Structure 1
């Protein structure tokens, strides 16, 4: 099997009788990285492929994103899928949700973090801070690489100055941004553990550093991990060159398992509002 042909491996596992759980990152995996997050719109054909796969018996599909849960659910627009937002801290499965208590803890210090970051953001036009439940995304996707390096250094220094007065932070580079959350907050790996299902062949695909824990969780289950592009975690078992190649594989998988019926399949609009049933301990 070619190293990139994750779709063939997933189809073979499903045809052998295993339940199949497909969990994908959104930005950089299902859609290209856009100049602004709001411009990363899911193509209708990709939505149809996801809907077709989710409708299969013994199959589940989920999107695990650094975006807020409400944002990713709205962008995907398929209420029947499983979702995780805020990098795994807010998880939705059916009519139920799991919420990391770190969301509320982080919100209590978010204003101080925003104030600290205001100086580097002002010094580097084209950067901005996106506030989400439980985390911040510090975007620099509009900068050239040399200016991006300078901005990241100043942003990290600004956050480090807060260390004596706030809880420990997890600050890491993701695709063209810094992700800021509380150290010990749930990750995409925690989301995988809650969304994977029992005895399923789990497939996860992602493109950045904040996918590392999800990759580790799926590898530990003996699943398939797919790295999308050059910045994907080193531990992935299969790789594709870019987002276009990944989506081509997704369409091959849908065509293989769903047939022509997936093309133009109607899908429901709107978003289900789940009830919160669990707030796990950190």
Structure 2
């Protein structure tokens, strides 16, 4: 899709963003900058999107952030972020402006969570466990559909319901975290941090495809010029929608043209 084929109201909103004194561009990675793949380690941003991100990071008055459910090490590996890009991982539990140390109670709770999720994974073929600094994730993409549904339900209704545990359900994953974190809070923290540095509240553009991105969409303020873009199908709080990561490439290339003009 060329920029001209993007929805006209979206192009109009992006044109207004171009006049802002400060801009924060934030994007989920998987399903937005990169197509969804069977093996998470094989995900890479589309070349046109990667090139546009490189250009935008070097643009005056623009900050660029990747806001992902991946653990930080995984996000760095697959995204190869350009110098100057802000990174938020684990749905806001890791990254720029995020406290990195757990207290003793959180560490003990995390150990119990990991043990419980591992037991579910061991009993359900095709699922696997991912460990994060503040949480544990069950991945179900490679499991039979009935197995995936049962495993997800056991994690959500079991350790996901414990006091002090936050459960986040995304596409083929259930993530349990022992810290209060979500993409909306992380996005607001980035916005406020940039506002303190520049003295100007940045206008925010956020694009995401997953249900966990809805927290970020709900944190936006369209009346202040913010723009939310849902990628793909599904109910959303975002004001705008595009279909595929290729459409996001067109959106990014359009942002390069209007912000560097």
- Confirm or deny a common fold (TM above 0.5): yes
Cα distance 1:20–1:157, how it changes in 2: closer, same or farther (>3 A)?
A: closer
Structure 2 match to 1:159: 159
Gaps in structure 1 of 5+ consecutive residues: 260-282
Unmatched 5+ residue regions in structure 2? 196-200
1:59 alignment partner in structure 2:
62
Higher helix share: 2
Q: Please list the CA deviations of residues 105-159 of structure 1 after superposition, one character each: whole Å capped at 9, or x if unmatched.
A: 5443233222212332123221111111212221001134333222212333442
Q: Quick check: 1:219–1:225 contact (8 Å CA) kept in 2?
A: no
SS in 1 for 2:29: coil
Is the aligned partner of 1:178 residue 2:174?
yes
* Corresponding position of 2:251: 249
2:147 aligns with 147
For the pair 1:70 / 2:73, whether they are aligned, the reply is: yes
Alignment deviations for residues 216-262 of structure 1 (CA, whole Å, 9 cap, x no partner): 2123654101111124x621111112323223322333245448xxx
1:16 deviates by 2.5
- Change in Cα spacing, 1:250 to 1:134, as seen in structure 2 (3 Å) is same
Larger deviation: 10-19 or 137-146? 10-19
Q: Mark the CA change 1:70 to 1:10 in structure 2 (over 3 Å): closer, same or farther.
A: farther
Q: Is the 8 A contact 1:73 1:79 kept in 2?
A: no
Whose relative contact order is higher, 1 or 2, with alpha carbons under 8 Å and at least 6 apart? 1
> Does the alignment pair 1:89 with 2:93?
yes
TM-score normalised by L of structure 1: 0.77
Alpha-carbon deviations, 1:24-45, whole Å to 9, x = none?
0111211122212211122443
CA displacement at 1:204 relative to structure 2: 0.5
Contact 1:28–1:228 (CA under 8 A) maintained in structure 2: yes
- 1:234 pairs with 236, 243, 259, which one? 236
2:107 is the alignment partner of 1:79: no
Separation in 1, partners of 2:104, 2:16: 40
Out of 132-141 and 219-228, give the one that drifted further: 219-228
RMSD (CA atoms)? 2.8
